[in-house]
């Protein structure tokens, strides 16, 4: 009987070990969608984007091909969404033609080391898509304009570069147009300055 009890205990322990070695089955029951779309966790890019969170004063400078640059003042609120996986930026600008708004979302894929962003605004119905060509270097975000359903159109290719100053109080975002010869021309610059929180009431 003692030998039979040991045999039963061994079988039971083997079953527990086998179950522990196959966590995927229980996970599949909890999240059946994971088989088709595996989950991914935030990475180094998200850590960088977290520093953008907050309220900002914005100065937008547009550089036309001819004539003097024009400046527009605005504000921006940035926050991480979807459990810290994406940064959402809400812009508001007040100009001579009234108020315009814009929304940007950017994410980072640790598997590829690249960023992808989308931009929409109240000026047009076109959505702007951008993606990194090179892996994130830990210092700046470089994105290239992309066209869905084909290559970038002539005259519409662009590159944006986003950098932080040393004290993390200023973001500089520059957009360059790229012509057919590969030459770059500065089109727009956004300078975001972190707002100083109001002093506590005495």
Classify 118 as helix, strand or coil.
strand
**Longest distance between any two alpha carbons in the chain, whole Å:** 98
Which of the given ranges, 14-18, 96-100, 141-145, has the highest pLDDT on average?
141-145
Task: Return the higher-pLDDT residue of 66 and 34.
Answer: 66
Residue 101 reports pLDDT greater than 70: yes
pLDDT at position 17 is 45
Q: In this predicted structure, which of 28-37, 43-52, 84-93, 110-119 has the lowest mean pLDDT? A: 28-37
**What token pair was written down for 50?**
């977290």
* CA 135 to each of CA 52, 132, 178: distance values in angstroms, whole numbers, following the listed order: 20, 7, 20
Asked if 108 and 84 touch (Cβ cutoff 8 Å), the reply is: no
Ordered alpha helix ranges (H), the chain = 2-20, 23-30, 44-50
Domains along the chain? 44-194 (2.40.128.20)
Question: What gap in Å lies between CA 45 and CA 65, rounded to an integer?
Answer: 34
Question: What pLDDT is attached to residue 7?
Answer: 41
pLDDT greater at residue 196 or residue 187: 187
Q: Report which of 139, 151, 115, 144 is spatially closest to residue 51, judged by C-alpha positions.
A: 139
- Compute the average pLDDT of residues 41-56: 96
Report pTM.
Answer: 0.78
| Those residues with Cβ within 8 angstroms of residue 118's Cβ, 6 or more apart along the chain or in another chain | 104, 105, 106, 127, 128, 129, 130
Section 173-199 average pLDDT: 90
- pLDDT score, position 30: 81
Pairing of strands 184-194, 54-62: antiparallel
């Amino acid at each position: 009987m003692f030998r039979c009890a040991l045999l039963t205990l061994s079988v039971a322990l083997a079953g527990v070990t086998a179950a522990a070695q196959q966590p995927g089955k229980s996970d599949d029951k909890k999240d059946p969608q994971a088989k088709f779309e595996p989950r991914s966790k935030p990475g180094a890019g998200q850590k960088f984007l977290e520093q953008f969170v907050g309220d900002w004063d914005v100065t937008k400078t547009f550089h036309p091909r001819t004539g003097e640059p024009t400046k527009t003042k605005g504000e921006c609120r940035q926050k991480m969404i979807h459990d810290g996986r994406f940064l959402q930026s809400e812009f508001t600008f007040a100009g001579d033609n009234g108020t315009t708004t814009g929304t940007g979302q950017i994410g980072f894929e640790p598997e590829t080391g690249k960023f992808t962003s989308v931009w929409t605004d109240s000026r047009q119905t076109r959505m702007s898509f951008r993606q990194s060509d090179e892996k994130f270097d830990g210092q700046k975000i470089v994105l290239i304009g992309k066209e869905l359903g084909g290559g970038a159109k002539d005259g519409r290719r662009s590159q944006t570069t986003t950098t932080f100053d040393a004290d993390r109080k200023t973001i500089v975002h520059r957009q360059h147009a790229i012509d057919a010869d590969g030459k770059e021309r500065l089109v727009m610059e956004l300078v975001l300055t972190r707002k100083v929180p109001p002093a506590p009431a005495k």
